[in-house]
Structure 1
Amino acid sequence: MTIVDLSKVSCLIDEVSSVILGKREVVQLTVAAILAGGHILFEDVPGVGKTLLVKTIASAIQSDYNRIQCTPDLLPSDIVGVSIYDQVDHQFKFHQGPIFTSLLLADEINRATPKTQSALLEAMAERKVTVDNHTYLLPQNFMLLATQNPFEFEGTFSLPEAQLDRFLMRLKIGYPNEEDELTLMTGGKREAIPIRQILTLDELTAIKSQVDNVFLHEKVAKYALALVRETRNHEDILLGVSPRGSEDFVKAAKAYALTEERDYVKPSDFQHLLLACFGHRIKLKSHKRLGETEVTSILMSIIESIPVPVGRD
């Protein structure tokens, strides 16, 4: 088994942050999601560096990488592949689509139709695809990193709850601060910055195997469960976090602890991850607006309402 120095995780975060200026927290959460083996949905306005972030991470971990530009005319076969009749062998042969990779970027995923979006569901849940009654396994480290425009934008299709629930985190990069944007305006292209390889895929796999070994005290686990269950009991929430969401919440916290070079989870880890892990999973009741301000406000009130276990931070 490959033994990896966990300080390499911090080096990975530093390397990606040297390209994505002023967004170290987003980079750290992205790396945590990768270590947890989860998928990420980046929701933000165009041009803030979502695609560049994914490409930079792929280079820093020496990963194979494919990109799909989602449009309304994209077909499921354009993603998973298609069987084509071979006139020489007189049989159908499957030609793999771009989904057969370790890191798949689905750019502007909500511009694709619901039928095309559904082609990703099996891959996201089970890391395999079925075509013409044949099942094909995806790479061990398969991960979907999808970007979507805010739903107010023209030409978008809302992602269904079943698909949103398969994303470990939803992240927003946001606009850069004044100093960083000045650097972007006056400096060279960020895409031209050489990226050092920090991890190999074997090393990444080894670190991911250590996530389950991160210690989670029973009191801290019960605290996390209380946060989850409050989303189901809150008076303004119609759809709370699912059991899959609660499992993902723990995985994310353990992986986040590794990015902090810790071998145990603190209650503050769950607080820090709550919005990223829950924000896309809850659905508000009809009398509440669906804006991000309301979602954030409700989730922050949940954190404030649940007592933190004493002596566990």
Structure 2
Amino acid sequence: MTIAPEQAAWFAETFSLLADNIEQAIIGKRHVVELVLATAISEGHVLLEDFPGTGKTALARTLSQTVTGTSSRIQFTPDLLPGDVTGITVYDQKKGEFEFHAGPIFANIVLADEINRASPKTQSALLEVMEEGNVTVDGVTRPVGNPFLVIATQNPVEQAGTYRLPEAQLDRFMIKTSIGYPDDAATMRILQGVVSAKGPVSGIVDPGTIVTMTELARGTYVNPLVFDYIMRIVNATRRASEVRLGVSVRGALALSRLAMTWAASQGRTYVTPDDVRSLASAAFSHRLILHPEAEFDGVTATDVIGQVLLDVAPPAENGAA
């Protein structure tokens, strides 16, 4: 069912209210806030890779406060076990039966702080739940609920005591982005806010509203020419000489869903090629594996995607029906 113009207008208004609320705590980073919010509505997951003290944890916490659902925080450490994330089954002697104790993954918004500090065994505990929204423990599969969003953070500077996320894990994140340092004006507002610090931001929507927005975003019209444009970009990443492994089909689906939500957030009922171009780097950069020679020469995945967007011509039409 295609989203109606009045529904798109309501979507854009609600989206803007949510972003305004989150921006009370994350000052001067409107685009990042909107990108993370669009990912949450698109049923994706976010990987925040940035330097310490840039607000990664604050962004996740403020989003969980804005949506009045359940939230949890998992501090990933080398001694964290998979059961500490998913939960375990314990034998209750009084009842004479096994009882499941749910782990912190059973929440609407989960902050996986410094995810690369946990062992690969513990990281793999997230593979099923991030893809399917279910957790299987002792042969029993349990849904974690809807909406469900994982916001994982990692520090690109410190490598001691960390484990690089495997490609299968990275591919399950819809976007990878960073907050970065604020500009001078935003920094001054942050410093002045220390004197009159406010408490937590207020919750303005319930999880049901996010689910409704997700369903509406699925109705955004995507012209076949726009789908063809996404396909040509994906194919170009696979053929690039610097790339050893290009974008997967999951990556193409992720960009499509994200672009549909992004269009609705702008009050439009259709996706444009510009939506695709503006979101491609965030959706694709963490999915590329470059040849060691290219990395040695200083080439980054963002550079490759930028060149691909220059080489692949967008459709002449704006994407409207």
- Give the match for residue 248 of structure 2: 242
The SS at the match of 1:130 is: strand
Assess, with a 3 A threshold, how the Cα gap between structure 1 residues 156 and 40 changes in structure 2: closer, same or farther: same
Shift, 1:190, TM fit: 9.2
> Is the CA contact 2:24–2:201 (under 8 Å) kept in the aligned structure 1?
no
Assess, with a 3 A threshold, how the Cα gap between structure 1 residues 148 and 208 changes in structure 2: closer, same or farther: same
Paired letter, 2:208: D
> Is the CA contact 1:241–1:282 (under 8 Å) kept in the aligned structure 2?
yes
Shift, 1:182, TM fit: 2.1
Q: Output the CA distance in 2 between the equivalents of 1:245 and 1:237.
A: 15
Of residues 116, 126, 144, the one that matches 1:120 is 126
- Give the match for residue 30 of structure 1: 36
- Give the match for residue 204 of structure 1: 210
- Give the match for residue 84 of structure 2: 78
> Which residues of structure 1 form unaligned runs of 5+?
none
- Give the match for residue 252 of structure 1: 258
Q: Output the CA distance in 1 between the equivalents of 2:153 and 2:298.
A: 17
CA RMSD of aligned residues (A): 1.8
| Deviation larger for 197-206 or 99-108 | 197-206
> Is the CA contact 2:51–2:155 (under 8 Å) kept in the aligned structure 1?
yes
Paired letter, 1:142: F
> Is the CA contact 1:19–1:190 (under 8 Å) kept in the aligned structure 2?
no
Q: Output the CA distance in 1 between the equivalents of 2:63 and 2:198.
A: 14
- Give the match for residue 230 of structure 1: 236
The SS at the match of 1:31 is: helix
The SS at the match of 1:213 is: coil
The SS at the match of 1:197 is: coil
Could you report, residue by residue, the CA deviation over 1:215-273 in whole angstroms, capped at 9, with x for unpaired residues?
11111111111111111111110000111111111001001112212111010111111
The SS at the match of 2:47 is: strand
1:154 matched to 2:160: yes
Shift, 1:62, TM fit: 1.0
| Deviation larger for 184-193 or 215-224 | 184-193
Shift, 1:154, TM fit: 2.2
> Is the CA contact 2:48–2:151 (under 8 Å) kept in the aligned structure 1?
yes
Of residues 102, 107, 124, the one that matches 1:101 is 107
Q: Output the CA distance in 2 between the equivalents of 1:194 and 1:97.
A: 25
> Is the CA contact 1:284–1:290 (under 8 Å) kept in the aligned structure 2?
no
> Is the CA contact 2:111–2:150 (under 8 Å) kept in the aligned structure 1?
yes
Paired letter, 2:84: D
Shift, 1:18, TM fit: 2.3
The SS at the match of 1:279 is: helix
- Give the match for residue 272 of structure 2: 266
Residue-pair matches, total: 311
Q: Output the CA distance in 2 between the equivalents of 1:260 and 1:90.
A: 56
- Give the match for residue 298 of structure 1: 304
> Which residues of structure 2 form unaligned runs of 5+?
1-6
1:282 matched to 2:299: no
Assess, with a 3 A threshold, how the Cα gap between structure 1 residues 134 and 119 changes in structure 2: closer, same or farther: same
> Is the CA contact 1:211–1:254 (under 8 Å) kept in the aligned structure 2?
yes
1:129 matched to 2:142: no
**Runs of 4+ displaced beyond 6 Å:** none
Q: Output the CA distance in 1 between the equivalents of 2:260 and 2:57.
A: 26
Shift, 1:192, TM fit: 3.3
The alignment's TM-score, normalised by the length of structure 1, stands at 0.95
> Is the CA contact 1:19–1:193 (under 8 Å) kept in the aligned structure 2?
no
The SS at the match of 2:210 is: helix
- Give the match for residue 166 of structure 1: 172
> Is the CA contact 1:65–1:101 (under 8 Å) kept in the aligned structure 2?
yes
